Amino acid sequence: MSASPKLNAVLTRIAHAEKAAGRAAGSTTLVAVSKLQVWEDIAPVWEAGHRVYGENRVQEAMTRWRDRRADIELRLIGPLQSNKAREAVGFFDVIETLDREKLLHALADEVQKQGKAPRLYVQVNTGEEPQKAGVWPKDADAFIALARKAFTIEGLMCIPPADGPPGPHFALLGRIAARNGLERLSMGMSGDFETAVRFGATSVRVGSALFSHRL
């Protein structure tokens, strides 16, 4: 695992955070966010053997990963338009941004048609920011219940507000998950993934700490 010093550094920081939190080693999945990266920057992480990647646009992900698709776990972490449901169900292993009824129905239709279902996370807008996607915390229980009529929901995802401490948002996501019997939490990015691990993240989405030159 020497091809990418940055990957090693992030994995080491995750391991320390797990240990400090009294969590099992390896209980946090690193999702390497490859959006807007050129292959030269992704290559060292790829060559080091990392195989879980996150992308926030369907078309861009298809272009970047088409040739290596069979070898990776690919997660959609950006907002999904209902009219892209077909491509998203066809191409991604995990969709982390389910957040509204229209999208729920579009995904259910595609799963029916394609006979394959992605693993799904409900995105919660913990900061109640109008410009951001995600169900609001007060609507989360009802939406999760609705989504479960069509799908197995694997967990919850959030993106805390850019300013202010993320801890309370991670804690809120954890509470919503716990009361709904969900065990997976996708939370934490380059600036706060160790905090997220402390609050129980089962996957962290890290881009800039792994790759240098976002386009």
Ligand X SMILES: *Cc1c(COP(=O)(O)O)cnc(C)c1O
Q: Point out which residues pair with 95 in neighbouring strands.
A: 76, 120
Dihedral sign computed on CA atoms, order 113, 115, 118, 119:
positive
Per CB under 6 A, 64 contacts ligand X: no
For residues 169 and 199, what is the distance between their CA atoms, to the nearest angstrom? Answer: 10
Dihedral of CA atoms 127, 129, 135, 139 in degrees, nearest 10, equals 70
Per CB under 6 A, 80 contacts ligand X: no
Number of amino acids touching ligand X (CB under 6 A): 14
Per CB under 6 A, contacts with ligand X among 17-46 are 33, 35
When the beta carbons of 56 and 125 are compared against ligand X, the nearer one is 56
When the beta carbons of 166 and 207 are compared against ligand X, the nearer one is 207
Contact residue for ligand X among 57, 60, 73, 78 (CB under 6 A): 78
When the beta carbons of 143 and 193 are compared against ligand X, the nearer one is 193
From the list 37-45, 134-142, 161-169, 203-211, the region that binds ligand X by CB under 6 A is 203-211
Per CB under 6 A, contacts with ligand X among 158-177 are 159
From the list 5-13, 87-95, 101-109, 200-208, the region that binds ligand X by CB under 6 A is 200-208
Per CB under 6 A, contacts with ligand X among 175-194 are 189-191
For residues 209 and 153, what is the distance between their CA atoms, to the nearest angstrom? Answer: 29
CB of 161 to ligand X, least distance (A): 13
When the beta carbons of 145 and 162 are compared against ligand X, the nearer one is 162
The bridge status of strand 73-76 relative to strand 52-55 is: parallel
Per CB under 6 A, 58 contacts ligand X: no
For residues 143 and 102, what is the distance between their CA atoms, to the nearest angstrom? Answer: 12
CB of 194 to ligand X, least distance (A): 12
For residues 102 and 125, what is the distance between their CA atoms, to the nearest angstrom? Answer: 17
Contact residue for ligand X among 37, 56, 125, 202 (CB under 6 A): 56
Scored b (16 or more CB within 10 A) or e, 32-43 reads bbbbbbeeebbe
Listed residue (81, 43, 84) closest to 62, CA to CA: 84
Residues lying near ligand X in the complex (CB under 6 A)? 33, 35, 56, 77-78, 159, 189-191, 205-209
